[in-house]
Structure 1
């Protein structure tokens, strides 16, 4: 669990985050959504310590991350996995070597143990035949899966994903969403996803924080969104007439389901 308590952050005279509080829950996909300039990226960077907050606290479990020095933060950072927007694989390394890199840096495993762990992670993301391939030899969706495997290789408690579906076709995006959600539940990870993808919001949004002009405008689940009356949220999620009609249809289906179940 990661708890945000009255977070404020600005750059010079510009205030980017205004008193943001939220709880990112373990075993759930926690999505941060919002338009460009809403503060969601700054919020995520504050959570991993790339930016220091001006006011408030960020707590990993019962540990106050904001009050720690860089040395004190190291054990927590070693429990964090990162999936970058462009996957950020090393082009000159094979898939196997990319996964081996965090193990070389942060573990005392023997080579045999490292290879076993790499194989386990690649098998879990269905890439057991890609060990010796270079990033240039695999597709965008495969690169994302390698990125996920690398993020998991150190058994993290926390997983941060920056636009995991960026540049992917809709079908591949659904595969990546499903994989991230499965791994989150399977390993009881606290997963935080920064996304613009509305399919992700509706399909894997266990917990959603909607940012608007630096404020937490709305908070809830994908099911809650369907019945939300927050105008700013609805204008963002259901921007087109087609999506507005789809929302009304979903409301009817869910209402009928409740009536039949009662």
Structure 2
């Protein structure tokens, strides 16, 4: 479980996050949703520790991460898997080398053990016979699956996904959503997903918080969200024609 307690964050005198509090449950897909520019990416990066918060606390399973010295934070970071927007694979490395990268950085395993782990992770995301290929030689959806394999290479307790469906066609996006959901359940990971994709929200949104202008305006789950009374959330949810038609039938 990860807890965010009364978090505030500013850049160059401009406040971005205002007293945000939330709990992200273990073994669930926890979503942060909201429009671009309203603070959800800043919140995600603050939770990971890429931004130092101005006040409040970030707590990982009763350990106050935000108040730890950097040397202790590194121990927590070894338990974190990251799925970046756009996959962020290394173009000069093969698929196998990309997935092995965190093992090379943080593991004392032998090369054979690391190769076995790479193959296990690639098989888990339904990729075979791609080890020798470079990112430019595979599709965007396959790149995203390679990035997921890399993210789980170290058996993380916490998984952070920044816009995991960015740039993907709808069918491939469903595959990625299902894969993240399955891995979360299978390994009991605390998964936090930053997204504005309402299809993802309705597919895997077990715990959802809505950020508007740096404030948490609503929280619930995918079953609650279509009936929410928060006007600004409704403007966000029902922005597309599909969800407008869903609203008309509620």
Counterpart CA distance in 2 for 1:149 and 1:242 is 33
Tell me what 2:234 maps to: 234
Q: Tell me the CA shift for residue 240 of structure 1.
A: 4.0
The CA deviation at 1:242 is: 4.1
User: Secondary structure of the equivalent of 2:50?
Assistant: coil
SS in 1 for 2:92: coil
**Which protein is bigger by CA-based radius of gyration?**
1
What is the distance in 2 between the residues matched to 1:218 and 1:40?
A: 13
| Rounded Cα–Cα distance in structure 2 between residues aligned with 1:218 and 1:201 | 14
Structure 1 residues 236 and 62, CA gap change in structure 2 (3 angstroms) = same
Task: Please give the secondary structure, in 2, of the residue aligned with 1:173.
Answer: helix
Q: How does 1:136-155 map to 2 (within 5 A)?
A: 136-155=136-155
Q: Specify every segment of 5 or more residues in structure 1 that has no aligned partner in the other structure, as ranges.
A: 252-262
Cα gap change, 1:241 to 1:150, in 2 (>3 Å): closer
Is structure 2 residue 177 aligned with structure 1 residue 180?
Answer: no
Pairwise CA RMSD:
1.0
- Please give the secondary structure, in 1, of the residue aligned with 2:31: strand
Q: Name 1:259's counterpart in structure 2.
A: none
Q: Distance in 2 between matches of 1:63 and 1:220?
A: 25
Question: Superposed, which structure 2 residues align to 1:106-125 within 5 Å?
Answer: 106-125=106-125
Residue 203 of structure 1 is matched in structure 2 by 203
**SS of alignment partner, residue 210 of structure 2:** strand
Partner Cα distance (2:89, 2:240) in 1: 36
**Hey, what's the Cα distance between the residues in 1 that align with 2:246 and 2:143?**
32
Structure 1 residue 241, shift from structure 2 partner = 5.0
- In 1, the alpha carbon distance for the partners of 2:130 and 2:240 equals 40
CA offset at residue 26 of structure 1? 0.7
Conserved 8 A contact 2:226-2:237: no
Tell me the CA shift for residue 248 of structure 1.
4.2
Q: CA deviation at 1:100?
A: 1.1
Q: Is the aligned partner of 1:27 residue 2:27?
A: yes
The 3-state SS of whatever aligns with 2:57 is strand
Partner of 1:260: none
Q: How does 1:239-254 map to 2 (within 5 A)?
A: 239-249=239-249, 251=250
Quote the offset at 1:118 in angstroms: 0.6
TM-score computed with the length of structure 2 as normaliser: 0.98
Per the alignment, residue 2 of structure 2 pairs with: 2
| Cα distance in 1 for residues equivalent to 2:208 and 2:5 | 17
Partners of 1:70 and 1:221 in 2: how far apart? 34
How far does the alpha carbon of each residue in 1:227-247 deviate from its partner, in whole angstroms, 9 at most, with x for none? Answer: 111111010010145422213
Q: Distance in 1 between matches of 2:125 and 2:153?
A: 12
Residue of structure 1 in register with 2:167 after alignment: 167
SS of the aligned residue for 1:155 comes to coil
- The aligned residue for residue 258 of structure 1 is none
Partner residue of 1:16? 16
